Amino acid sequence: MPSLPSSSVADPTPPDFSGLWVALVTPFRADGAVDHAALAALARRLAAAPIAGFVVCGSTGEAAALDEPEQDAVLATVAEAAPGVRRIMGVSGHHLGRTAARLGSLAGAGLAGVLLPAPVYIRPSQAGLLDWFGQLADRSPAPVLIYDIPYRTGSTLARETLLALAAHPRIAGIKDCGGDADKTRALIADGRLQVLAGEDANIFATVAEGGAGAIAASAHVHTARLARVIALLRDDRLAEARALWQPLLPLMEALFAEPNPGPMKALLAARGEMAAVLRAPMTAASEALCARLQALDAAVDAAG
């Protein structure tokens, strides 16, 4: 495996990505345009909860269905609506030069970080993945969080690759959707990457094992409760955290019973916050699931 490219830019103080990050949806109007009014209202509501920040234009935000000007406008709306809340921007691609240029275009955006997945469709070797992330981290205007999500990208980042990438001064953490508990524990034990759970149902286990927090789509609802679960776990108050967590889990699992973010948008639409509109090829949640989500949402409220 080749050595990691060296970076000419290093952060004197490692950034802190601990806590709960909300993986924001992108609301659309009935005509398919971005609903900036609904997005701003959503950001303001969520900003009132004890969150670490927002992840904008990730997979939950349907970034693949947004062109770059639309993505920039979404980021600007969130920044204006919640100026005191930190923002991580999703950046993806499969052309190294264009992806690096996209990172460069975000230099003045005041980002806390960027979320970078492996290049989709190509399925490079581990050496290729090491080079991909190393070169992009060298050019990134903000600290990098690796987005390890093999079921979307087609590439699995090996433990050894991630541990090598942890040596890069601009790579600060990982959104862990890899589905490998042993790898997750190894990264936590190594201690150089801040491990953020990316699969919502794994939040409790990851943070209880020593992970830094989570990037969660389900955090659009019962946000303060989920943030409290993470805070309690990081304080080693396991029983209190479990009591708050268990009522959340049935709703959390239902929110991923159909492709994300359809169920989340359906629940937010039922709450009157936006239309349940997605861009093709994504589809709205089924009526049966919508009814189930509303019942489970009410059950969390009833649990206190």
pLDDT in tens, 87-123: 999 999 999 999 999 999 999 999 999 999 999 999 9
215 in a labelled binding site = yes
Contacting residues for 246 by C-beta, under 8 A, at least 6 apart: none
Does residue 91 form part of some domain?
yes
Residue range 135-170, pLDDT digits in tens? 999 999 999 999 999 999 999 999 999 999 999 999
Residue 13: pLDDT band with limits 50, 70, 90: confident
**Half-sphere exposure in the Cβ direction for 268 (13 Å, CA):** 31
Does residue 46 form part of some domain?
yes
Q: Which residue range(s) make up the domain with 118?
A: 19-237
CATH number at 56 reads 3.20.20.70
Does residue 153 form part of some domain?
yes
Q: Which of 121, 151, 175, 183 is catalytic?
A: 175
**CA dihedral over 102, 104, 107, 111, signed as positive or negative:** positive
Number of independent structural domains in the chain? 1
How far apart CA 44 and CA 194 sit, in angstroms, is 27
pLDDT at 14: 73
Does residue 245 form part of some domain?
no
Buried b (16+ CB within 10 A) or exposed e, 22-52: bbbbbbbeeeeebbbebbbebbeebbebebb
Can 183 be counted among the known catalytic residues? no
Does residue 73 form part of some domain?
yes
Average pLDDT over residues 257-276: 98
pLDDT at 95: 96
Can 121 be counted among the known catalytic residues? no
Position 266 pLDDT exceeds 60: yes
pLDDT at 12: 54
Does residue 252 form part of some domain?
no
Residue 7: pLDDT band with limits 50, 70, 90: very low
Does residue 285 form part of some domain?
no
Does residue 282 form part of some domain?
no
Residue 36 contacts residue 195 (beta carbons within 8 Å): no
Q: Which of 147, 151, 183, 265 is catalytic?
A: 147
Residue 217 contacts residue 268 (beta carbons within 8 Å): no
